[in-house]
């Protein structure tokens, strides 16, 4: 079987494409670890937050700035665009350890409910991510309902992620 010059060119092109796909898939297979990281980001890396909604306040991106809207009848402290930008940045950069055994956490969430929650809309995602905060024996936990992940939070991170919680709850 003889191939013309253009026929051999096509064979070489398809062989190169096959090698590229093979090496690319092999590369991802080798780099991917079998065990999940103990500390993971709350939001996907390099995510672009469009809206962050608390029970008390909704923060929306307007151009390159942020707009905050009160959702409760009591007045909340005024927030500058820089404070709102810092709050969004905290959410984008926050990392926390994952919980391995979540059965007792799920039972406690059903029993006592969440102390606070926030909804995060990200660019490129059709559904919002809902995060629920629960305290068990004074230890804060955060449930990412979208990915069904439980995080153990430090109290300092809780006050940064949920700055309005102390205004409306006694937890």
Co-location of 95 and 14 in the same domain: no
pLDDT digits (tens, 9 = 90+) for 56-106: 889 999 888 888 888 776 666 677 888 889 999 999 999 999 988 888 888
Q: How many domains does the chain have?
A: 2
One domain for residues 27 and 44: no
Q: Are residues 61 and 113 in the same domain?
A: yes
Q: Indicate if 7 and 64 belong to the same structural domain.
A: no
Structure tokens at 143: 């449930």
The overall pTM is greater than 0.75: no
Q: Is the pLDDT of residue 111 over 90?
A: no
**Co-location of 17 and 53 in the same domain:** no
Q: Are residues 24 and 67 in the same domain?
A: no
**Mean predicted confidence (pLDDT) in 115-144:** 91
pLDDT of res. 77: 67
Confidence at residue 166, expressed as pLDDT on a 0 to 100 scale: 54
How far, CA to CA in Å, does 109 sit from each of 86, 140, 146, 156? 29, 12, 16, 22
Residues 20 and 52 in one domain: no
Q: Are residues 77 and 149 in the same domain?
A: yes
Q: Identify the residue whose tokens are 């898939």.
A: 25
| Closest by CA position to 89, among listed 113, 132, 59, 134 | 59
Q: Indicate if 84 and 126 belong to the same structural domain.
A: yes
Q: Which residue segment(s) compose the domain that 105 sits in?
A: 39-168
Q: Are residues 59 and 132 in the same domain?
A: yes
Residue 125 CA to its chain's centroid (Å): 11
Name the more confident of 25 and 47: 47
Res 169: pLDDT: 41
- Please answer whether residues 139 and 151 qualify as being in contact, where contact means their C-beta atoms are separated by less than 8 angstroms: no
Q: Are residues 147 and 83 in the same domain?
A: yes
SS3 per-residue string spanning 25-79 = HHHHHHHCCCCCCCEEECCCCCCCEEEEECCCEEEEEECCEEEEEECCCCCCCCC
- Summarize the confidence of residues 5-14 as an average pLDDT: 94
Same domain, 99 and 122: yes
Number of H helices, E strands in the chain: 5, 9
């Amino acid at each position: 079987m003889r191939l013309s010059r253009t026929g051999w060119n096509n064979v070489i092109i398809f062989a190169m494409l096959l090698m590229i796909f093979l090496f690319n898939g092999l590369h991802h297979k080798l780099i991917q670890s079998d065990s999940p990281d103990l500390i993971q980001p709350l939001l996907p890396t390099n995510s672009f937050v469009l809206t962050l909604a608390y029970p008390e306040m909704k923060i929306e991106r307007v151009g390159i700035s942020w707009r905050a809207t009160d959702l409760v009848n009591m007045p909340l402290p005024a927030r500058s665009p820089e404070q709102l930008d810092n709050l969004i940045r905290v959410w984008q950069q926050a990392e926390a350890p994952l919980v391995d055994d979540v059965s007792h956490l799920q039972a406690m969430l059903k029993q006592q409910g969440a102390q606070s929650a926030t909804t995060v809309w990200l660019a490129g995602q059709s559904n919002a991510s809902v995060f629920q905060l629960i305290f068990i024996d004074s230890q804060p936990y955060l449930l990412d309902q979208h990915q069904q992940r439980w995080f153990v939070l430090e109290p300092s991170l809780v006050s940064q992620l949920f700055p309005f919680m102390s205004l409306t709850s006694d937890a």
